[in-house]
Structure 1
Amino acid sequence: MASFANAWAMISKLGGDGEFIAEKKFVPFCDRTIVKDPYRTGDLMFGEIKKEIKVVPSEVEISTPRINKVRATYIMRRRDIENLKNLFIARRGIDYYVSGFTVTCAYIWTCWLRAEAAEEERTEYFSCIADCRSRLNPPLPASFFGNCVVGCRFAKSRNGVLVGGEGFVIAAELIGEAIRESVNDEEWILREEFWLSEFKEADPRRVVAVAGYPRMDLYGADFGWGKAEKVEFVSIDGGNSMSLCRCRDSEGDIEVGLAMPRAQMEAFAAIFADGLRSL
């Protein structure tokens, strides 16, 4: 999505595609035949999608449903991310690698659950996707234009564990392990049955998912009138999702978008700020 937006912006700003084409690294690679599909995942996924498609009669008026939520954007500063990494390393050991993405997601997830105040015996799930172009054999070029993102295994634990004193560290460990196990398992990447089984086993009301990625520079898409004032992910309104993208005006910071009922958002804001101050 980010590559498409930036390509579209570049062509629009320059008034043509000459310079875009001259920069070989920008030109999308569209040859799908290089993707090996031994388990016929493409056909199986297409079949699943067709089941979900609902035909709406043209005479039916389509209206936007009212969503009882408010939106807010929180900034995870680079120093906060480093402090969270250091906290994790202090508890799990210096040899245990943890990424900025992992600690950001773990912190937002645990703050979310504390603000929600759900039953402690419930099982909570965290879902994210991974770019698997470099994980295939042979690897796909970085300019490959197609869907090569794969749903990772769910990170899951009991609510009471995640809202407890060690909740952030446990969440970061679970998310990190789920990502590593998924992207290093070629059969997982290629087999659609594995991904679907995760969703079928989980309670969708207890799944927190991620839209976007911190490395996505959507603010860099300049159509000729400068950076966007604000990037919003519309998809987070409809479910339990957070959005992540590179911050507009500061390198290394992350914008986190959330949509929640007002009371939960107010509780989240206090928990989010207090947690970072205590680091």
Structure 2
Amino acid sequence: MVSRTKEESDKFRSPDVADSKLLATFTLSGEILQSIKDRVAGVAARRGAPLPRCTSIVATFAVVWQCHIRAAIGDVEADNKHHGRAHFIFPTDHRARMEPRVPDKYLGNCVGPCFASAPKEEIAAADAEDGLFTTCAAIAAAIDEAVRGEPAYWEGWKERIVEACRDDAPFSVAGSTRFRVYDVDFGFGRPAKVEIVSVAKTGAVSAAEDRSGAGGIEVGIALLPERMDTFRRCLADAMAWFSSSSQCN
């Protein structure tokens, strides 16, 4: 059990602003996710850089993180936060990576944190492709680090969370596409829509499988009205851009 001082606990406490936020759910289709992967591969080829491992969940986190930073930078009240580093903390499943392997029927916790970080100005670059590559590469590198599981990673995770909170409130994730929340039936049918309302308090983004079963991913996010408008426009522009590129291919 980890003990904390009051000062340390205050760093993890969310401000009481949930009532003034808007909660919205967005769906990224399988076609959009494939287009994101293609865009990232194109930037890697153009730069002559290694191709990040861009899975569907990495692609989802990459574009949502990018739009979240763009929305924050577009907020005139956050003018003093345009520079510095952005942090994204999300969990990874270690069950299949343990030695010996944890049985598939194990229902307890077996996750570890991934720490992605990148300069805000690179994430919000004028060339959206470059910003997308930045977020995707940072997220993929964070997963690789967690999978390696070197002693320094396990020993320093608490300090890294505190460091991320010191720079700015880190972006984080609630839920998982692996939970299959739309398959849950407690006797009165499957849910029509699932929302993790705690994101309005924590500032996280929720993740779940596409309720239609078409292979997409749903994300939920809560923001103040003005910032939600900016985030919604940014994501809509990105999805239109990805959709047009997938049709061309």
TM above 0.5, one fold?
yes
What is residue 67 of structure 1 aligned with on the other side? 19
Alignment match, 1:237 = 200
Given candidates 162, 171, 190, the residue that maps to 2:123 is 162
Equivalent in the alignment of 1:107: 63
- 94, 97, 113: which one pairs with 1:151? 113
Quickly say closer, same or farther: Cα 1:50–1:249, change in 2 above 3 A: farther
For residue 217 of structure 1, the aligned residue among 180, 190, 201 is 180
> Which whole-Å deviations, capped at 9, do the CAs of 1:26-54 have from their partners, x for residues lacking one?
xxxxxxxxxxxxxxxxxxxx13379889x
Residues of 1 paired with 2:144 and 2:229: CA distance?
Answer: 34
Cα offset, 1:115, TM superposition:
1.2
- CA–CA separation in structure 1 for the residues paired with 2:206 and 2:152: 25
Distance 1:237 1:70, change over 3 A: same
Structure 1 residues 50 and 203, CA gap change in structure 2 (3 angstroms): closer
Which residue of 35, 53, 63 maps to 1:83? 35
Aligned to 1:7: none
1:123–1:206 CA contact under 8 A, matched in 2: no
Confirm whether residue 179 of structure 1 aligns to residue 143 of structure 2: yes
How far is 1:196 from its partner? Answer: 0.4
Distance of aligned partners of 1:123 and 1:108 in 2 relative to their CA distance in 1, 3 Å threshold: same
In the TM superposition, residue 188 of structure 1 has moved relative to its aligned partner by: 5.6
Structure 2: gaps (5+ residues): 10-15, 243-249
1:259 is paired with a residue whose SS is strand
Provide the aligned C-alpha RMSD in A. 2.3
Identity across the alignment (%): 29
Q: Is 1:136 paired with 2:136? A: no
Asked whether the 8 Å contact 2:18–2:200 carries over to 1, the reply is: no
Partner Cα distance (1:80, 1:273) in 2: 11
Q: TM-score, normalised by structure 1?
A: 0.73
Aligned partner of residue 278 in structure 1, secondary structure? helix
Query: What is the deviation of 1:202?
Result: 1.6
Where does 1:17-36 land on structure 2 (aligned, <5 Å)? none
The answer for unaligned runs of 5 or more in structure 1 is: 1-45, 54-63
Contact 2:17/2:201 (<8 A) preserved: no
Residue 68 of structure 1 deviates from its aligned partner by 1.7
Alpha-carbon distance in 2 for matches of 1:47, 1:185: 20
Give the TM-score normalised by the residue count of structure 2. 0.81
Query: Per the alignment, do residues 185 and 271 of structure 1 end up closer, same or farther by CA in structure 2, a change over 3 Å counting?
Result: same
